[in-house]
Chain A
């Protein structure tokens, strides 16, 4: 399977709805793989080649920028980014898709990959995310908090239960003692965000980084005691074609520069 199939619902929806900002900046649009051009100047880091980075959907904007920055520092390197729901990416890796780096939105997907022996060395936690309620700009339905998610009259969206965002969301609702009356379980967080931004849904639970990524939605904080911290692990894969470059990328993500990029997109540092 290609990276397209899993993000197509979200991106297709994005493209069709013309919501450029929700889908990340222009360089990430058009396809699910972002290619960073090779610099014309000669490589001075000594690194030369192409790596494929599988990253959770919520990392789309942050990793696009990170990939750009990494390539600038390493002119001989091309980073191909494949974003999608972490579960989908996991399946692809287990099925033998060629990837060098895996950045997951939760540890459980990474663990499954480790169990299959597909990870080189140890994974590292490089970012944290937490949840936020997203509502269309202006909050037309006057949503106030998680309690409203039990309201039948509102059009509520969650991520599907098996997707990290959906798993976390249900955890939060559980902690708040709310039984959700959702109208849809979207296959990935981006398509959920897009529908909220379009006004087709009154509210949904997405990542804080998603709310930060677009002006089209407003965010409503979830109380800390109910909120869930999402731990994002990153690792070099055992079958990496370019293990050295892969390791360098992981290092970059953990470096000050990398962390700064992540923070600028709303993530909490490692």
Chain B
């Protein structure tokens, strides 16, 4: 380690070999260029007006609410599921894990259709529930939340499961020797240890839910103020009101950056 005598000297191992720089720079350019183009096309003069339009404010509200709710549900349900996958050994575990990861691989629209099969008005579970109570998930905010949770939950489960697998079990042994029961060990020892993974998983989950389109439009439909989230609004606006579409996109980008940037490396490294 070099001592900090006044000026900081670069570590010999800290600088990348020069051969890595061009591909990294190109890739960065590839990722950044679309945002630059977006900014360049932005209707700066009418932006204020556009941003206060109900189209934008309602879509933003719905997106934030549903993404947050989806993340909350994913945490409550996903952490126990991750624990089961990481720590218990039951027959068919690999299959179960595969099923849990399926929404990550399926085209979201197919996911949305599957949700309809299950929870739609003529769905496996949705049908009887509707006939009995009149409650229906599609075409409601809860439908949006359900669709978002469906596609985003696997991201959280995968991240938390990895964290649990790599957690140092010896601390849990130590807690057991002190007389702690399994629930106490989970709450006081395991959970604090995997907190970084949980946060990272929640962030990924939230980001995925925020950007979700296919499953939402297929399952929950599209209605301004009720189910039209930002991605849906952008999609439709692109064909009719280019300026509004760009304004919506900029809002999405700004909101996402506002959440992701402050989290920094500490939390995103699971």
Contacts and interface: CB of A to CB of B under 8 A. Distances in A.
B120 interface: yes
A16 B114 contact: yes
B160 to A, nearest CB: 29
Interface string A1-21: 000000011001101110000
Given A186-B222, A198-B116, A200-B138, A9 B217 contact: yes
Given A12-B109, A184-B221, A187-B222, 17 more contacts: A13-B112, A16-B113, A90-B239, A91-B239, A160-B222, A160-B236, A161-B240, A163-B239, A183-B223, A184-B223, A185-B224, A185-B236, A187-B235, A191-B217, A198-B116, A200-B116, A200-B120
Contacts of A88: 239
Given A87-B240, A155-B121, A200-B138, A12 B222 contact: no
Interface string B89-119: 0000000000000000001011011101100
Contacts of A12: 107, 109-110, 113, 214, 218
Interface in B218-264: 218, 221-224, 226-228, 232, 235-236, 238-241
Contact of B139 (A85, A155, A187): A155
Contacts of A191: 217-218
B223 A13 contact: no
B169 interface: no
Contacts of A198: 116, 120, 122
Nearest to A153: B134
A219 interface: no
Given A16-B113, A91-B239, A199-B121, A9 B214 contact: yes
26 contacts: A12-B107, A13-B109, A15-B110, A15-B113, A16-B109, A16-B110, A16-B113, A85-B239, A88-B239, A90-B239, A155-B121, A162-B236, A183-B221, A183-B223, A183-B226, A185-B223, A185-B228, A187-B217, A187-B235, A191-B217, A191-B218, A198-B120, A198-B122, A199-B122, A200-B121, A200-B122
Interface residues of A, number: 29
Interface of B: 107, 109-110, 112-114, 116-117, 120-122, 136, 138-139, 214, 217-218, 221-224, 226-228, 232, 235-236, 238-241
A182 B222 CA distance: 10
B221 A186 contact: yes
